[in-house]
Amino acid sequence: MRSAEASGSETPICQKTCASVSNKLKANLAKDWPSPPNHWSTGKGRGNTMREITLPKSMETYIQIYRGHSEGVAPTVKRKDNCMSNVSRIKNFLVFMAHGVDRLSDWLFLKDTKRVRGWSEYISKSGRAVTTSLLFLKSVNHFLRYLFASKLRGCRLTQSDMTHIIREVTANINNLKKSVTVHQFKVKRNKLDRLPSQAELLAAMAVAEKRIPDLLDLMASNPTSITQYLLYGYLTLHWSLLYGHRPGVYANMTNTEVFEVDRRGTAEGYIIHVQDHKTAKTFGEAQLVLTVKEFSWVMRWMGIKEGLSGPQNEFFLFTTGKHASKNLNAHLKRAWADAGLETAVTFTILRTALADNIKHHQDPESRSILAKFMCHDVSTANRFYANTPGIKEGLKIHSMLRAAAAAASSEGGLPPSATSEEGSGAESSDTSSSRPVDTPDEGTGAVDSTFFRTN
């Protein structure tokens, strides 16, 4: 671990913010316990005011060393943004803990475990989703463990102090796990309720295959940004209906990767390999398998791009900036609406719909192969499949439980009252109770979920 200079500044935390935010912050910090709204944590993404918090010089230096450690070697733009967000959450914690403290360079202000608990309670009751609150706690927990191991010069916290602080944060994380689990299942259940029907998915595929060549013609004769983004929407819609990839796969696909496929393609088809995507560490490259016709759309767009004026970056779905597009969901929704479909749609919903189809209509071996191609973790999804059944799955479980009860009663495993209850009524004479009930499939039940994990 690298060490950092921690001596020097003993001044309280200062803020380099706009006047309105600064005044609100000073008023909020004048209280013993800040209360919602959290004025140094307003806004979202790059507009969040937590990013404007400035610590004393020695602490700021150490925080930046930690940030560099978290980013690692050759970080992607996404990883840099994630690390910036984590640092902002840590600064939120430090501001809370340092309120009313004159000397900060020795880090002893962190010893107040009661205040640590107060911050955890404050974060969880600040109007954030419980999963976001957990993210705050995990970010701080990771930083504290790094601080504990780094042997920072000037830090007067003892090993016992750090153990108590980390233990307090860990306990607060464990206290949230029940709420997080319940929240996750509620979110997944609501997502399943919003899945488009199979008729809509098939209609979307048919419209996309017709509209993509038409939009390419328009871009060749009369290029406009509206047509360009609608084309992006239809291309990513078509790919998502086939492969269910996350939007980062399409956004990060580069011109070089496309040209490489063009050189190595065959008369039977082409496979585009995309290196940079969310789960590349686990699944490696993501693939898009295209027929000759589908790849001809890709190469035609490559040719049209060469004749367009204005700046272009290295990505197949280029933007005028230097980074990959972050608006693909908006383009997807525009294409979905253009196709005349009304159900709300996102890449996540399409990915869930495809995973649901695979789960219901493929054998386990085929499902495993297709899930890996989707860069989809089946083991995580199975946790939700088992606990979020549709009507058909629920009735099968009901039938299995009744069959188990009947088998136990025949062997004398149930008390007389239970046996007589099971043996009475018309249902007991129905031999179909020992096999699954044949009920209409409502077509839902699969979930795609990834969860934040901290080392």
| Same domain? 217 vs 120 | no
Judged by DSSP in three states, 248 sits in: helix
406-436 tens-digit pLDDT: 887 777 655 545 444 444 444 434 444 444 4
Q: Are 180 and 247 found together in one domain?
A: no
| Structural domain for 96, as ranges | 14-186
Together in a domain, 43 and 129 = yes
pLDDT in tens, 274-297: 988 787 777 788 888 899 999 999
CA dist 202 and 27 (Å) reads 57
Give the domain CATH number at 318: 1.10.443
Identify the H or E element spanning 33: none
Given CA atoms 243, 245, 247, 253 in this order, what sign does their dihedral have?
negative
**Whether the Cβ atoms of residue 81 and residue 248 lie closer than 8 Å to each other:** no
Cα 123 from Cα 125, distance rounded (Å): 6
Q: Tell me how far apart the alpha carbons of residues 153 and 173 are, in angstroms, rounded to a whole number.
A: 29
In a domain, 424, yes or no: no
Query: What sign does the CA torsion over 313, 244, 282, 134 have?
Result: positive
Q: Choose among 319, 364, 2: nearest CA to 153.
A: 2
The answer to the question of residue 378 being in a domain is no
**Do residues 162 and 205 both lie within one domain?**
no
Could you tell me if 165 and 221 lie in one domain?
A: no
- pLDDT tens, position by position, 27-66: 444 344 443 334 445 555 555 556 667 778 888 899 999 9
Q: Domain tally for the chain? A: 2
Is there a single domain that holds both residue 156 and residue 231?
no
How is the chain split among helix, strand and coil, in percent rounded to 5? 65, 5, 35
Tokens read off for 100: 């009313």
- Taking alpha carbons only, the member of 213, 200, 202, 135 closest to residue 172 is 135
Does residue 8 lie within any of the structural domains? no
Last residue of a domain, one of 308, 342, 366: 366
- Look at residues 149, 164, 186 and tell me which one is the last residue of a structural domain: 186
Q: Of 186, 210, 228, which marks where a domain is finished? A: 186
124/228 same-domain check: no
Under the banding of pLDDT at 50, 70 and 90, the label for residue 367 is low
Q: Kindly state whether residues 339 and 219 are assigned to the same domain.
A: yes
Same-domain pairing of 336 and 262: yes
pTM of this structure: 0.64
84 within domain boundaries = yes
Q: First CA to last CA across the chain, in angstroms?
A: 15
Task: Identify whether residues 274 and 160 lie together within a single domain.
Answer: no
Residue 447 dihedral angles phi and psi, to the nearest 5°: -135, 140
For residue 404, is it within any domain? no
352 occurs within a structural domain: yes
Q: Do residues 224 and 299 share a domain?
A: yes
The three-state secondary structure class of 182 is helix
Do 174 and 276 belong to one domain?
Answer: no
Select the highest-mean-pLDDT range: 8-17, 120-129, 208-217, 406-415. Answer: 208-217
Q: Is 322 within the bounds of a domain?
A: yes
Kindly report, residue by residue over 218-260, the tens digit of the pLDDT.
Answer: 999 999 999 999 999 999 999 999 888 889 999 999 999 999 8
**Is 149 within the bounds of a domain?**
yes
Mean pLDDT of the chain: 77
pLDDT tens per residue across span 145-181: 999 998 888 899 999 999 999 999 999 999 998 888 8
